Structure 1
Amino acid sequence: MGTETGRRHFIITGTSKGIGLQLAQLLLAKGDYVYGISRGGSDLLESSEEWSRRYRHVQYDLADLNGIDDLITRILDQIPSQEAEFIGLINNAAMLEPLKPIDQCSAAEISQSFNISLAAPMILSSSFIQQTNHLSARRKIVNLSSGSGSYPAPSMAVYCTSKAGMNMFTQCVSLEQTGQQNPVEIIAFDPGMVDTELQAVARGKSAEEFALAGMFNQVYEAGQLRSPRDVAMQLIERMDENSDTSHVIHTVES
């Protein structure tokens, strides 16, 4: 156990880029402690002298579901849990592909996408709840959702289904936590359309391969994408609130 007391501690997946990176930077700037998880390194965060004492990085491939319990154990062992006032889990990492009709998707592609985008967040949440149930700290889980979880789209069956699953999972866990002595707050947060690598992947597809590629390009060229930093700032504001967990939080477009 460390010596950092009276602080907020956040476990965030996908901190190497996009919304996850911006969340980590903003929380560190507020004086919080961040434990980042991503398949690769996070040079920008790891190399900062200012944040080195409050940022810990774990390289881990979330497609490997069997090691997630041990992953959470290793991270929680670094948190002074008896003194921590807030411990959060932000399930941000997701996989957009495969972007093609379902009959062109292989079993391996479908399995990998679901593991990273849905199964891993479920297991992370399960392990997080179980391993913090003895604590008196405020606990919160934030699941990054998407409008794709509510609106069907061609060539996006796998991604849309994983996000719809994330929304339903959030609501189910909320019901489970109701009435618990120290319930875990849980919300699903839909950031709207954000200028991330996932969007760039969608724009880069040919119209033959991905029917909505043109629409993604039009939105980008019209300047309608939100910046990851703006989304991260809004998410942090909502995270501080006591949660109404009965529905997905949709961002207000600026």
Structure 2
Amino acid sequence: MRLAILTGGSRGLGLALHEQLTQAGWRVLEFSRTAPHRDSVRLDLADPTQIASLVRPALARVAAELTETIEALVAISNAGVLDPIGPASRKDPAAVLANLQANFTSAILFQSVVVAQFQNLACRKVLANLSSGAALKGYAGWSLYGAAKAGLEHHIRAVAVEQASEAHPFIALNVDPGVMDTAMQALIREQAPADFPDVARFIRRQADGELRPPGDVAAAILRLLERTDLVSGQRCVAADF
């Protein structure tokens, strides 16, 4: 049996990943605010304490039920939010904290509890952090989103070094899905230039057909995660697969 653990599987790329994993015969455990699937657990990543109260026990239950039959494990840290968009000097402190809790703190805690729960599981295990080009380049208006994505990439690189000394290591990866036709892209195109000066370029991307369907990106990511030549700690771009 193959087990997939996924955050943010209720819409966009996460939904496409959930659908394709399920169709491919994976047993999926999904975490999101709306929890729309039979295998979902309702989780608000804006509250990092829920990782301990909801994610940890859910993983423990699955491990107790399935550990003896798991042949492969994939954990995909996908959930993320872009708001608030705009100059750092104008951001509300409460909104800053909510963004960082959802995008950074909870993502690190999620990745950490997955590794802790399944560290001794003797099978192929992949921990994938879905990142962004914003981890590598600064965009005016996206200071929080970019900071969280950059920090998570470095977290994964450090986890990869740690895992190298484990008897049953995870392959830890950063995966850049590229630009997609999702609700997040629609939100970006609605921004005023004062909040996001690059908005015209993103509108042109959509008009020029440069946004890939989430299903195509999900398929590329799943092809990537099943490759046998992955190097733990590497950064991968979905469009290359």
Q: TM-score, normalised by structure 2?
A: 0.93
Cα drift, residue 250 of structure 1: 1.7
Structure 1: gaps of 5 or more residues = 1-6, 47-54
Partner of 1:34: 28
Cα drift, residue 62 of structure 1: 0.9
Q: Stretches of 4+ moved more than 6 A in 1? A: none
Alignment of 1:53-132 (within 5 A): 55-76=38-59, 77-79=61-63, 80-132=66-118
Q: Distance in 1 between matches of 2:120 and 2:168?
A: 9
Q: Distance in 2 between matches of 1:246 and 1:103?
A: 34
Residues 43 and 50, structure 2, Cα contact 8 Å, conserved in 1: no
Amino acid at match of 1:89: A
Cα drift, residue 129 of structure 1: 1.1
- Match of 2:165, SS? coil
Moved more, 103-112 or 66-75: 66-75
Cα drift, residue 108 of structure 1: 1.2
Residues 171 and 233, structure 2, Cα contact 8 Å, conserved in 1: no
Residues 224 and 238, structure 2, Cα contact 8 Å, conserved in 1: no
Residues 7 and 79, structure 2, Cα contact 8 Å, conserved in 1: yes
Cα drift, residue 26 of structure 1: 0.5
Amino acid at match of 1:14: G
Residues 62 and 115, structure 1, Cα contact 8 Å, conserved in 2: yes
Q: Distance in 2 between matches of 1:117 and 1:111?
A: 10
Q: TM-score, normalised by structure 1?
A: 0.89
Q: Distance in 2 between matches of 1:97 and 1:213?
A: 15
Moved more, 212-221 or 73-82: 73-82
Q: Distance in 2 between matches of 1:82 and 1:65?
A: 30
Amino acid at match of 2:236: I
Q: 1:230 to 1:56 in 2, by over 3 A?
A: same
Amino acid at match of 1:8: R
Q: 1:218 to 1:253 in 2, by over 3 A?
A: farther
RMSD (CA atoms): 1.5
Residues 192 and 253, structure 1, Cα contact 8 Å, conserved in 2: no
- Match of 1:183, SS? coil
Count of matched residue positions in the alignment of Structure 1 and Structure 2: 237
Q: 1:129 to 1:246 in 2, by over 3 A?
A: closer
Partner of 2:238: 251
Alignment of 1:137-156 (within 5 A): 137-156=123-142
Alignment of 1:156-195 (within 5 A): 156-195=142-181
Which string of whole-angstrom CA distances, capped at 9 and with x for unpartnered residues, describes residues 149-198 of structure 1? 00111111111111111111111100111121001111010011111111
Q: Distance in 1 between matches of 2:71 and 2:51?
A: 24
Q: 1:182 to 1:169 in 2, by over 3 A?
A: same
Question: Identity rate of aligned residues, in percent?
Answer: 27
